[in-house]
Amino acid sequence: MPASAGSRQAPIADGRRALILVEDLPVPFDRRVWGEAQTLRDAGWKVTIVCPRGDGARRWHERIDRVQIFRYPLPTTAAGLFNHVLEYAVAIPATLLLSLLAWRGRRFDVVHLCNPPDFLFPIAGLFRALGSAVIFDQHDLAPEVYVAQGGRQGGVVHRFLGWSERATYRSADVVIATNDSYRSVALSRGGVDPSRLFVVRSAPDPRRIFRVDPAPALKAGRPHLVVYLGTMGPQDGVDLFVRAARRILDERPGEVRFLAMGGGNQLDGLRALAASLGLTDEELTFTGRIPDAELRTALSTADLAISPDPANDFNEYCTMNKTLEYMAIGLPVVAFDLEETRISAADAAVYAEPNDPAGLARLTLQLLDQPEERARMGAAGRERIAGPLSWQRSAASLLDAYQAALRVRASRVRAPGAAP
């Protein structure tokens, strides 16, 4: 991160316009994008977002808290190469059309690309020609995600994803990385100029994630509640959470209820896996996406939370939003021993050998028997979220990144034809 990044609040934007393009999740359910949009709005930016529709976000056009959102339908979000091709064949043209509808001849000062996928750079090129600065906000390492989901490393698709990532880096005036691991990738693999590279860590919004009164009825008469929160995709390890739940209930029948909160293209398969292992809906409940009020209540009632992300070249260097939200509520965390998870959680978590559901189960049972240790870990997590991992720090870096993008655009206008 440049020395100045995150050190001060950037100037008020005085009505400058920002367009944020995101394809992976609908907004406001993409919490990182929604937090960025609110930060920009509060700094005086007029923010427009183009994203897909999803459960709870069906309207094609609406304003939420003075942020304008355009949404398009997707034919599928299922896993598999064919489904991804079909998804992007709709998403990219729809993103372009809605972006032009939002533009209507009035320049966007900044166009902010969020991946995955890394296929939005042609749209960025168009808006750059129309006078916009471009920011690439790298949420995921797309080649690593492909391999984590079962793709072949070094194959045609993997090489194409690497090319698309490099093209997206080149299209951007400024690059935002979500952590220092991603920053290192942008420097080494992307060749990004360090002066144009900013770290904006994801962090829970304290206006959304905060502790409330527990609801003991959620435990369904059992002593303990253990939760999972997050997307349920091929690389998220929710199957390991399900297998750990089976082991825990074999060891302590009738003592623990499990909640798995969130949606994703693996949800139906996970329900089938739970049924095949003999887990009843009362023992392990898949809620799908639920409103924030219900989410806060469930997290505030839980005794601990599990981050079951397996070890691979993607997860090892990814900051897990679920872990941060657990910490914001004050929940102790059981996780696999991954580099960025340790950086985020530190001693707010205990760490199992990667990809071993028996290890998750063993550590969970140990913590359920140690209420004082759970309280200590929960307090440590809250302190980290309020301090070094707070959104306030990330917001300052985000605004610095926007100011840097505007400076690069200004230098490009002053020297037409010169390299940005």
Run of H or E residues at 294: helix 292-301
* Predicted pLDDT at 371: 97
Give the residue extent of every domain in the chain.
Answer: 17-203+390-414, 216-386
DSSP string, 35-86: HHHHHHHHTT-EEEEEEE-BTTB--SEEEETTEEEEEE--S---SSHHHHHH
pTM: 0.84
Cβ(44)–Cβ(38) below 8 Å? no
End-to-end CA distance of the chain: 20
Residue with tokens 């060749």: 191
Q: What pLDDT was estimated at residue 402?
A: 98
Classify burial at 395, counting beta carbons within 10 Å of its beta carbon; exposed 0-12, middle 13-18, buried 19 or more.
buried
17-203+390-414 has CATH 3.40.50.300 classification? no
**pLDDT by 10s per residue, the chain, length 420:** 443 344 444 556 678 999 999 998 899 989 899 999 999 999 999 999 999 998 888 999 999 999 999 999 999 877 788 888 999 999 999 999 999 999 998 999 999 999 999 999 999 999 999 999 999 999 999 999 999 888 899 999 999 999 999 999 999 999 999 999 999 999 999 999 999 999 999 999 888 899 999 999 999 999 999 999 998 988 899 999 999 999 999 999 999 999 999 988 899 999 999 999 999 999 999 999 888 999 999 999 999 999 999 999 889 999 999 999 999 999 999 999 999 999 999 999 999 999 999 999 999 999 999 999 999 999 999 999 999 999 999 999 999 999 999 999 999 876 655 544
Q: Do domains 17-203+390-414 and 216-386 have the same CATH topology?
A: yes
C-alpha Rg value of the chain to the nearest Å = 21
Collapse the DSSP code of 296 into the 3-class scheme (helix H, G, I; strand E, B; otherwise coil) and give the result. helix
C-alpha closest to that of 49 among 23, 16, 75: 23
Which residue type sits at 113? L
Bridge partners (DSSP) listed for residue 352: 336
Q: What pLDDT was estimated at residue 2?
A: 44
Structure tokens at 264: 């994703």
Amino acid residing at 335:
A
CATH number for the segment(s) 216-386? 3.40.50.2000
Query: What is the spatial distance between Cα 257 and Cα 226, in angstroms, rounded to a whole number?
Result: 6
DSSP state of 7: S
